[in-house]
Amino acid sequence: MTRAAKNSSTIVIGGCGFIGSNLADSLLRSGESVTVVDNLSRPGADQNLAWLKEAHGPRLAVRIADIRDQNALVPLVSDAKAIFHLAAQTAVTTSLVAPVQDFEINARGTLNILEAVRASGGNIPVVFASTNKVYGALADIEVANVDGRDLPTDVALRTHGVNEERPLDFSTPYGCSKGVADQYVIDYAKSYGIPTAVLRMSCIYGPRQFGTEDQGWVAHFLIRALAGDPITIFGDGNQVRDILHVADAVAAYRSVLAGIDRFRGQAFNLGGGAANAVSLNVVLNEISRIVGHEVRIHHAETRIGDQRYFVADTRRIQSSLGWRATIGWREGIRDLARWLGSNHSREATMERFVA
């Protein structure tokens, strides 16, 4: 590790969100000192914070702050051991309605974090949560329907997925703001020597995800299905994603940090890979089996910037860090369904997250 000040802690910014709370829990369980930073603006963040406090008590440090507040960030990160940056505005739909807010959170907020690190001396590792949306809508990828899945006609793409050599092609304000942040994080390793790395995530799902129609679609589908409510599919449902269980995502984040001195300034695709490439319709069929009844579906027009196909080629992160997805998509979806069933009453979950 590049830096480990005495009594310093690992900071998880966005640590009360879905991935952040799982990551913070993993770090704490392995004996790390952890500070979560969050503004608690997302639905479910307060519940995730309560869960972390109950599980870890005074070992967990909490700071309520917003990454748009530069003055608040400088003292928070000044003696950090490392930083995981997962705070974001995460919905394409929201970015189209409020592009300035989207920019301020995703682009300016990330720059604020990097500048706070630079002000501290510039030697604190930063691992950033980026997105596959930096590759754009991928409209040039020719696809054919194969057993209800839109798959590339190109054999290499179909076999391995989209790799990191794919040109960046930002689409939608969300894609632009996350893409700007992605590139700033990489450049601060080049320009200022800060040990940074980027993970361009595909569809992460699992416990502690309070999915909505705009973001977190696997959990959203399950929540709606468990409530007996209809699900809206934008498009025909044949679009393909590689879904990744959050436990595997957490392992990837920790592996990247552990190897940050070797991989500073690099970006890695992070997803379930070809083995976990599923269409929305295939996921819905599996959810129908889990809940014991056919899920009701409504169709709407395809949304702006939606990719017909995205599967992450994870060979770079596998070869560099020895990481690989270990939880198959069927097993993972059933794990999420068990968590939804055991941790939340049907009424409370539906009232808050399925309005």
DSSP 245-268: EHHHHHHHHHHHHHTHHHHTTEEE
192 is catalytic: no
Question: Rounded to the nearest 5 degrees, what angle is found at the Cα of 108, between the Cα atoms of 244 and 263?
Answer: 50
* Given 174, 184, 188, 253, the catalytic residue: 174
Where do we find the tokens 């690099």? 266
Distance between CA 76 and CA 280 in Å, rounded? 41
* Residues paired with residue 60 on neighbouring β-strands, in sequence order: 34
What are the phi and psi torsion angles at 158 (to 5°)?
Answer: -65, -35
What are the phi and psi torsion angles at 346 (to 5°)?
Answer: -55, -45
Rg of the chain (C-alpha set): 19
Q: How many helices and strands (H and E) does the chain possess?
A: 15, 15
Contact by Cβ (8 Å): 122, 80: no
Residue type, 126: V
SS3 state at 289: helix
Where do we find the tokens 């979560």? 36
Q: Report the 10 Å Cβ neighbour count for 242.
A: 27
Give the DSSP letter of residue 344: S
119: nearest Cα among 192, 65, 13, 35 = 192
Token pair for 88: 């974001």
First to last CA, the chain: 45
Q: Report the 10 Å Cβ neighbour count for 173.
A: 23
Please give the positions annotated as active site: 174
